A and B are shown apart, each in its own frame.
Chain A
Amino acid sequence: MSKKKMQLLVCGGTGCSDPNGEAILDNLKLELEANALENDIQVVRTGCFGLCSLGPIVKVMPEDTIYTRVKPEDAKEIVEEHVLKGRKVERLLFKDPETQKTLTGSSEMSSHIKQLRIVLRNCGIIDPESIDEAIAYDAYEALARVLTDMTPEDVIKTIKESGLRGRGGAGFPTGIKWEIARKNKSDVKYVVCNADEGDPGAFMDRSVLEGDPHAVLEAMIICGYAIDANNGLIYVRAEYPLAVARLRTAIKQAREYGLLGDNIMGTGFNFDIDIRFGAGAFVCGEETALIHSMEGLRGEPTLKPPFPAESGYLGKPTNVNNVETFACISPIILKGSEWFSSIGTEKSKGTKVFALAGKINNVGLIEVPMGTTLRDVIFEIGGGIRNGKKFKAAQTGGPSGGCLTDKHLDTPIDFDNLVAAGSMMGSGGLIVMDENDCMVSMAKFFLDFTVEESCGKCAPCRIGNKRLDELLEQITKGKGTLADLDRLKNMSLVIKDTSLCGLGQSSPNPVLSTLDNFRGEYEAHVITKKCPSGKCRDLMEYFIISENCVGCTACARVCPVNAITGERKEPHLINPLICIKCGACMEKCKFDAIIIR
């Protein structure tokens, strides 16, 4: 392997909202050629650094110098000064706005990197099917410490002091949950891991189970020790076959090492874990419904109290925590509660994993400290909105949450702020919408989902949501009235107040929050019978602007129903009575002559 040559890395790539990246790349290449260096020094395009407000970025390797806010015309100076003379271009280095210190390398820049991985610490790093790798990366070290140096009370105290709150959505303090479960005396108790991840667009639990299953197993054993339980159950959806397979392997390997089963690590503590499958019902993410499903009954919630901590699985005290909550446990034990509570906001500690989806450039999993703003998540880490479109809203909390708009962009994301903004943390799905998305259709999409997933036990949820859905259907078809908007709101409030479980109590949230934030859009649907985003098929039509049409006949040829007529080289016409609004003509038109109106 030869010695490393100098290389220039330029950020950018498909979908990058900054068009300068390409020009910088070209200019650097030209400048290198002008100095006959093109064979010695390489220019490489990279993906997103997650620092878009400082972009575009040029990084010089192997010495690791980062230039920020580079313009295409800066290429000359970078090549002539840095590459040829070895002098750094000071004015392009990043200056910390607080300390006024100039930062050069990536290690110094790390404080400006917004992501911090605690839950995802080993995902993508270790081989999830090898317990040896996991152990080399500190798995079961926290368990060893707990079993030898800590009493169950110590463990609960540590978790309480860390400020960890349940990551499944509601944000109940984990330490208190464990304490209650410990206080309820019983011969048999259960620790349940809720891996029934049902929100559309959420996949963080799956990634943790697939990437680092031992983190969950270890935390469950620790929880068992803390609440005096010897049985663990993982309730995982059968739609996650890979997660199930890797969990099975992990459990088998842990048993072989004596890390599960009787007399764990020779300390006399017994704990074993089994897997239970869910058939993919959204309501089974609710803990009482989940427990009924595990018992072989219908997945229906029951009234609390009794809470599962008193009478849960098979009537025994049961502690249910989410996958992500469990994944936080070992680092808290190893690094201490103070370390954990130093991350995040006053009432929400630690980090949160978000699954970015929708119209965002960097779709994927991210983990940020609580209190990171939506702007940082979407425009820095997420790389901004696809195709340079305008940000409209982000849905958090899936079908149970609400939407956040540009007025919420600078709100620090934590449990309480999201509730105050009319949404909720939920399990961490974050669906981003741009200016082309219709908020009425969006609310309808989520409501369709809850109508489908309602277990049917209580009337407000079963009947009320269906009626809401029908009202929205009318509105998107242009048959709604202003009175319908009030009806939507009133009915939503009643459903929230009277439903039995979390599913029904939160199902009207998408409707309420879009009504609050985008009332104008609803009104356009019912008053002028127009969909401002052009998404509702019944309220829009394709139209040819005759000045732009050159009569190339491309649209007429692609139209599947022959709705477009017109002579060659003459402006064409769409017959709205025949048009099925498939949009094929608009895609084909090279002259921007076809619009939605």
Chain B
Amino acid sequence: MKKINSPADLRKLKEELKAKIYGTESGSKEKLKIRVHSGTSGLASGAKEILDFIVMELDKRSIDANVIRTGDLGYSFAEPTVEVTRPGEKPVVFGNVDKLKANEIIEKFIKNGDYIDGILPINYNTIN
């Protein structure tokens, strides 16, 4: 890793990283983004298994996606939770995801944009 030697360095790096993460780099297409919430409570309800399953299944079906392991979102009552952001759309969170549901998410939501039971509405505002 390169050292950050000045605040200007940090800001330059931030712009580069933003472009990479949001896919705003010229010529690059925004990617499908999947977040698996894997804090202690997510992992305790099986988030690791779901993450592995999703990575494997996407690979099998050759769907290109950015799968991210994050901390918990706070929906402990419905864990494991998975958030899917289709390119150009708002993120959608699914709760109580098991392998069956994960499969349904890939087949119906990721492929066709069809919603399935168990969506958790975003019930908060954020400063981001």
Identify the A interface with B (CB < 8 A). 1-5, 7, 9, 11, 13, 15, 42, 44-51, 59, 61, 106, 110, 113, 115-118, 120-129, 132-133, 135-138, 140-141, 144-145, 147-148, 203, 206-208, 210-212, 240, 242-243, 246, 253, 256-259, 265-267, 331, 335, 361-367, 381
List B7-49 residues whose CB lies under 8 Å from chain A: 7, 9-11, 13-14, 17-18, 20-22, 35, 37, 39-41, 43
On chain B, the residues within 8 Å of A51 by CB distance are 123
Taking a contact as CB atoms closer than 8 A, the residue among A15, A121, A135, A211 that contacts B127 in the complex is A121
Closest A residue to B40 using CB positions: A242
Central interface residue in B17, B70, B117, by most chain A CB within 10 Å:
B70
Identify the B interface with A (CB < 8 A). 1-7, 9-11, 13-14, 17-18, 20-22, 35, 37, 39-41, 43, 68-78, 81, 83, 86, 95, 111-121, 123-128
Taking a contact as CB atoms closer than 8 A, the residue among A47, A138, A210, A259 that contacts B121 in the complex is A47
Taking a contact as CB atoms closer than 8 A, the residue among B4, B81, B95 that contacts A258 in the complex is B4
Taking a contact as CB atoms closer than 8 A, the residue among A13, A121, A125, A256 that contacts B35 in the complex is A125
In angstroms, Cα B9 to Cα A61, docked, is 43
- Contacts A148-B7, A364-B77 hold; do A127 and B127 have CB atoms under 8 A apart? no
Contact B68 A124 (CB under 8 A): no
Contact B10 A46 (CB under 8 A): no
Contact B95 A47 (CB under 8 A): yes
On chain B, the residues within 8 Å of A59 by CB distance are 121
- Contacts A121-B127, A212-B71, A242-B43 hold; do A265 and B4 have CB atoms under 8 A apart? yes
Closest B residue to A59 using CB positions: B121
- Contacts A1-B111, A365-B74 hold; do A265 and B127 have CB atoms under 8 A apart? no
On chain A, the residues within 8 Å of B21 by CB distance are 132-133, 136
In angstroms, Cα B36 to Cα A129, docked, is 13
In angstroms, Cα B12 to Cα A257, docked, is 13
Contact B70 A125 (CB under 8 A): yes
Contact A124 B1 (CB under 8 A): no
On chain B, the residues within 8 Å of A207 by CB distance are 39, 71-72, 74
Closest A residue to B75 using CB positions: A364
A-B CB proximity, top 7 nearest: A211-B71, A50-B123, A124-B73, A115-B124, A365-B74, A364-B76, A144-B7
Taking a contact as CB atoms closer than 8 A, the residue among B6, B43, B115, B126 that contacts A61 in the complex is B115
On chain B, the residues within 8 Å of A49 by CB distance are 121, 123
- Contacts A42-B114, A265-B9, A364-B74 hold; do A117 and B124 have CB atoms under 8 A apart? yes
In angstroms, Cα B121 to Cα A97, docked, is 23
Chain A to chain B contacts (Cβ below 8 Å), 30 pairs: A1-B112, A1-B113, A2-B112, A7-B114, A46-B120, A47-B78, A48-B121, A48-B123, A110-B125, A115-B124, A121-B126, A121-B127, A127-B68, A128-B71, A133-B68, A135-B13, A136-B18, A136-B22, A138-B14, A145-B7, A203-B40, A210-B39, A210-B72, A242-B43, A246-B71, A267-B6, A267-B7, A331-B127, A363-B77, A367-B124
Taking a contact as CB atoms closer than 8 A, the residue among B7, B43, B76, B125 that contacts A113 in the complex is B125
Contact B13 A50 (CB under 8 A): no
Closest A residue to B5 using CB positions: A266
Chain A: minimal CB distance from B124 (Å): 3
Contact B75 A210 (CB under 8 A): no
Contact B40 A136 (CB under 8 A): no
On chain A, the residues within 8 Å of B121 by CB distance are 9, 11, 46-50, 59, 106
In angstroms, Cα B41 to Cα A210, docked, is 10
In angstroms, Cα B18 to Cα A504, docked, is 50
- Contacts A117-B126, A144-B11, A147-B7 hold; do A362 and B77 have CB atoms under 8 A apart? yes
In angstroms, Cα B83 to Cα A359, docked, is 26
In angstroms, Cα B81 to Cα A140, docked, is 28
In angstroms, Cα B22 to Cα A302, docked, is 51
Contact A117 B43 (CB under 8 A): no
- Contacts A256-B1, A365-B72 hold; do A44 and B117 have CB atoms under 8 A apart? yes
Taking a contact as CB atoms closer than 8 A, the residue among A61, A115, A129, A266 that contacts B123 in the complex is A115
Taking a contact as CB atoms closer than 8 A, the residue among B18, B37, B39, B127 that contacts A242 in the complex is B39
Contact A44 B116 (CB under 8 A): yes
On chain B, the residues within 8 Å of A47 by CB distance are 75, 78, 95, 118-121
Contact B71 A46 (CB under 8 A): no
In angstroms, Cα B11 to Cα A130, docked, is 17
- Contacts A1-B112, A116-B126, A210-B40 hold; do A123 and B72 have CB atoms under 8 A apart? yes
In angstroms, Cα B71 to Cα A210, docked, is 5
- Contacts A2-B112, A4-B113, A141-B14 hold; do A124 and B69 have CB atoms under 8 A apart? no
On chain B, the residues within 8 Å of A265 by CB distance are 4-7, 9-10
In angstroms, Cα B125 to Cα A106, docked, is 11
On chain B, the residues within 8 Å of A362 by CB distance are 75, 77
Taking a contact as CB atoms closer than 8 A, the residue among B2, B3, B10, B74 that contacts A144 in the complex is B10
Closest B residue to A386 using CB positions: B77
Contact B78 A121 (CB under 8 A): no
On chain B, the residues within 8 Å of A144 by CB distance are 7, 10-11
Chain B: minimal CB distance from A202 (Å): 12
On chain B, the residues within 8 Å of A15 by CB distance are 77
Contact A9 B39 (CB under 8 A): no
- Contacts A122-B128, A266-B5 hold; do A135 and B10 have CB atoms under 8 A apart? yes
Closest B residue to A258 using CB positions: B3
Closest A residue to B110 using CB positions: A1
In angstroms, Cα B121 to Cα A127, docked, is 21
In angstroms, Cα B22 to Cα A122, docked, is 15
Given A45-B118, A207-B39, A266-B6, 4 other A-B residues pairs in contact with their CB atoms under 8 A: A44-B117, A46-B120, A256-B1, A365-B74
Chain B: minimal CB distance from A220 (Å): 17
Contact B4 A259 (CB under 8 A): yes
In angstroms, Cα B117 to Cα A50, docked, is 17
Chain B: minimal CB distance from A10 (Å): 10
In angstroms, Cα B35 to Cα A5, docked, is 24
On chain B, the residues within 8 Å of A258 by CB distance are 3-5
Closest B residue to A246 using CB positions: B71
Contact B3 A366 (CB under 8 A): no
